[in-house]
Amino acid sequence: MKVLVANLGSTSFKYRLFDMPAEVQLARGGIDRIGGEQSHCFVEIGEHREEHEQNVPDHAAAVNLCLSQLTNSEWGCLESADEVAGIGFKAVFAGNMSGVRLVEETLLTKMEALSDIAPAHNPPYARAMRQLRQAFPEIPLVAALETAFHETIPPENRTYAIPFQWDEEYEVKRWGFHGASHRYIGSRMAELTGKDDLKVISCHLGGSSSLCAMHGGVSKANSLGMSPQTGLPHNNRVGDFDPFALPVLQKATGKSLEELLEDLSSKGGLLGMSGLSGDCRDLEEAAANGHERAQLALGVFHSAIRHYLGGYMTVLGGVDAIVFTGGIGENSVSLREKVCSNLEWAGIRLDPERNQNASEESQIQADDSNVQIWVVPTNEEIVVARQTVETIEGRA
């Protein structure tokens, strides 16, 4: 079964094609600047790679281009687009309509109604899904909601201290996100260690970041809350923030609530603190050269990670393994060093040389560490591919 997994942005479409259930990646590609005068397109199939510029007006046209690439007579991997059994989406938020489900009108309406919660994610996904349903009615579309993995979190770790009616009637709770990534880390750690009852803290650190406490691959807590703007500071999103500061800011700046929320979701985080960049690579270079606000931004980020790390050791009653994943988690030697520093009291000791030389799937703890420390690249796409297959087969 051939499954296409789509990762969408407002002006981007990235994809991977898998042969399931063998889980062989047959192709990957993407289109950026959709809707602009010229879109940047790339594709990798086997040893063939090409990049070019062309006009791609919308996401339906992007999928058409993708299918033409996959069926190219010279270097494509499909004889016909009919071989695509389904398209899976790493969708973000639909409130109580969580889980993994076929894309239909009720789901799309719900996602659109909740766009204020995930403004960078829900609008492009709902818009693209509508385009694709119309353009390719014969191909099943499957939405794997990021909140699905966290449905196992107990009420005491999901409930805000708010009027209970808000939880019951308005779906205000700690939903948690990055579900595909944390699910992958949980299952992969069981494979790597041969143990299926591990207490794992997964640190997904990238443009958007979160920590997840898992026991036996089951989510027990996640640092993201009602929206993807919460928890740790993100590249340009605020993270945890006191809502009672908003009236103060309204009076001081003359801005509306909507304008302030836009600032918090696009001008906050590492970018807002540093005034320089939301990219950790830029900040680490600037901090090394004495840039004080870059140093501050990184310090706040490291402290927030350690805050949740310590809390999640309490949630789990200890920890067997800490896993760093995501673009920052996998690549930042200094971040891993800062996060794991002075934790010998908890049996956590990093090996500096192993940390420096970590690549792919690596253990980086010292020999006398009681807790394993891993660097493991995540694979959200294969999780969505698996879920897509299960949903399509369950529909038959």
Binding residues for ATP: 14, 279-281, 327-331
Asked whether the CA dihedral 317, 319, 320, 323 is positive or negative, the reply is positive
Three-state SS sequence of 123-182: HHHHHHHHHHHHHCCCCCEEEECCCHHHHHCCHHHCCCCCCHHHHHHHCCCCCCCCHHHH
Q: At what angle do helices 292-316 and 333-340 cross, to 10 degrees?
A: 50
Q: Token pair for residue 18?
A: 């898998």
Binding site members for Mg(2+): 7, 380
**Amino acid at the residue 175:** W
Asked whether the CA dihedral 39, 45, 49, 50 is positive or negative, the reply is negative
Shortest CA distance to 5 belongs to which of 379, 361, 377? Answer: 379
Q: Token pair for residue 129?
A: 């899904």
Q: Are 384 and 14 in contact (CB under 8 A)?
A: no
Shortest CA distance to 42 belongs to which of 18, 19, 69, 61? Answer: 69
Binding site members: 7, 14, 279-281, 327-331, 380
Asked whether the CA dihedral 260, 266, 270, 271 is positive or negative, the reply is negative
CA distance 243 to 38: 41
Shortest CA distance to 341 belongs to which of 310, 376, 295? Answer: 310
Sheet containing 100-102, strands listed edge to edge, beginning at the edge strand earlier in sequence: 48-54, 39-45, 24-32, 12-19, 2-9, 84-89, 141-144, 100-102
Q: Token pair for residue 349?
A: 């000791």
